[in-house]
Amino acid sequence: MSKNPFTLAVCQLRTELVYEQTMQKTEAMVREAAAAGASLIVLPEMFDCPYDREYFHKFTAMGHEDAVRRMAAWAGENKIVLVGGSIPEKDGDRLYNSSFVFGPDGEQLACHRKVHLFDVDLPGMSFRESNTFTPGNRITVVDTPVCRLGVAVCFDVRFPELFRAMAREGAEVICLPAQFNMTTGPAHWEPSLRVRAIDNEVFFAAAAAARYEGFSYECWGHSMIIDPYGTPLAAADEKEQILYANIDLSRIAEVRAQLPTFLHLREDVYSVSAPVAKN
């Protein structure tokens, strides 16, 4: 698998209420994307479990190990890097919203536990992810055969400090499995993704779930792949589909040479410890 350039694929799939149906469909999409030449494939947040408090514990009781085993097999059999969206992961008595990353030999390369939990009071919707999940406490950046990869999950995108930290750790492509909703999706989804790419001059792959109309939590969909200049390379609507984009990592250096904002940080002025002038 050559490192550069390479094809990135985002599988925007609809999570079904029956686990086995979802897993069979996911495997088929991964195989299709790999057959089309994708070396890096990204799945959505909670791709194996309906995004609803009613299902989190129910699906966790089934064990996350089966999903991990299958994802490892998909990566190994198709010789790809797989960002396994996220799944409910149980560790002792704690539950995490976790994204597992696998290499082309099927080995687990990383696991990102969602750092910022979705606790909001929106018009027509109140949600407390913290009633179910424990937040992660680590930045996730990992070397893979195709790129140096950063991973975050959904609500993490609203915290630019996390993404700047990943970029400073050398992330070239940042993947964001997500399930924005029908309230925040139309207003904030695309602007948030593009500004994170622009701020850090990296490639950005946002993998949303396809919409399940009539379900208690309807996902906005609209997965995107964005270049370091903030230009969308591929974009979806709300339906199931696979997005593809050619990723040439030399584009990062090109953009940073033209707009060297990332290279000219003034930590002496705006770091937390910097003095603040009082007028």
DSSP 66-114: HHHHHHHHHHHHHT-EEE---EEEEETTEEEEEEEEE-TTS-EEEEEEP
The reply to whether 160 falls in a domain is yes
When pLDDT is averaged across residues 196-221 and rounded to a whole number, the result is: 93
Identify the burial level of 52 via C-beta atoms within 10 angstroms of its C-beta, where 0-12 means exposed, 13-18 middle and 19 or more buried: middle
**Mean of the per-residue pLDDT values of the chain:** 92
- What global pTM score does this model have? 0.94
The reply to whether 275 falls in a domain is no
Q: What is the pLDDT of residues 257-279, one digit of tens each?
A: 999 987 788 888 887 665 555 54
The reply to whether 104 falls in a domain is yes
The reply to whether 277 falls in a domain is no
CATH of the domain at 55: 3.60.110.10
The reply to whether 230 falls in a domain is yes
Q: What is the pLDDT of residues 113-162, one digit of tens each?
A: 999 987 777 777 677 887 889 999 999 999 999 999 999 999 999 999 99
What is the set of active-site residues? 45, 114, 154
pLDDT band for 50, please (50, 70, 90 cuts).
Answer: very high
Range of the domain at 139: 6-270
| Cβ within 8 Å of residue 194, ≥6 positions away | 204, 226, 230, 232
pLDDT attached to residue 277:
52
The reply to whether 108 falls in a domain is yes
How many independent structural domains does the chain possess?
1
The reply to whether 278 falls in a domain is no
